[in-house]
Amino acid sequence: MGAAAQTDEVENEPWGEVTPDAARRLLVAAVEAFAERGYHATTTRDIAGRAGMSPAALYIHYKTKEELLHRISRIGHEKALEILQTASAHEGTAAERLSDAVRSFVRWHASQHTTARVVQYELDALGPEARAEIVALRRRTDEVVRGIINDGVQAGEFDVPDVRGTTVAVLSLCIDVARWFNVAGRQTPDEVGALYADLVLRMVGAKR
């Protein structure tokens, strides 16, 4: 029940912090358009049209198409970081914290796969300044997972010869769920999260 409620909340209110309502509708429309046609093939006119607004109304909220992508990317990355930080801050062994982090992170990438794809695949379209900001957020994301793995190694819970490479692999495994996850498929986001938590504990050689 707790896990299901959490999934629903993340799933239904991903852009809750974006106000006013028109700015949020434009962001949702941009995510859909970028996911369907790619960033470069999408115009601000397309986005405004999807949101049922005029191009002029769009410019009140976003000066450029890049500003929309930057906003989407920042919110997506901040949410991913927050999910991992929350799990990392919990009481418990490194194995429990890592398991919790992987479950929530996978659940987010499965339920928010459209947003996650845009956020992951259109990084090159950002200008240098926006890109630097997102790269910094990704570095912090990486550090949270590396921190849990290091805690496990130091406590003698995990056996990891290459902590840095294993951290990259763990995050990569979870992120790629956004590419293949299919809402009509046989597994729910919760089920994929549970399977992946087990696989990641194996990757770090967690003592059973």
Query: Concatenated DSSP letters for 130-173?
Result: HHHHHHHHHHHHHHHHHHHHHHHHHTTS---S-HHHHHHHHHHH
Residues touching its own copies, count (CB under 8 A): 32
Residue of 104, 110, 119 whose CA lies nearest to 27: 119
Q: Cβ(95)–Cβ(206) under 8 Å?
A: yes
**Structural tokens at position 69:** 């992508």
196 binds its own copies (CB under 8 A): yes
User: What CA–CA distances, in Å, run from 116 to 73, 85, 160, 180, 202?
Assistant: 9, 18, 28, 11, 25
Residue 3 binds to its own copies (criterion: CB under 8 A): no
Which residues, numbered 149-168, are part of the site for its own copies (CB under 8 A)?
Answer: 161-162, 165-166, 168
Q: Smaller CB distance to its own copies: residue 104 or 167? A: 167
Q: How far is the CB of 111 from its own copies (least distance, A)?
A: 17
CB 179 within 8 A of CB 117: yes
- Contact string 22-61 vs its own copies (x = CB under 8 A): --------------xxxxxx--------------------
User: Footprint of its own copies on residues 171-190 (CB under 8 A)?
Assistant: 172-173, 175-177, 179-180, 187
Residues lying near its own copies in the complex (CB under 8 A): 36-41, 117, 120-121, 124, 161-162, 165-166, 168-169, 172-173, 175-177, 179-180, 187, 192, 195-196, 198-199, 202-203, 205
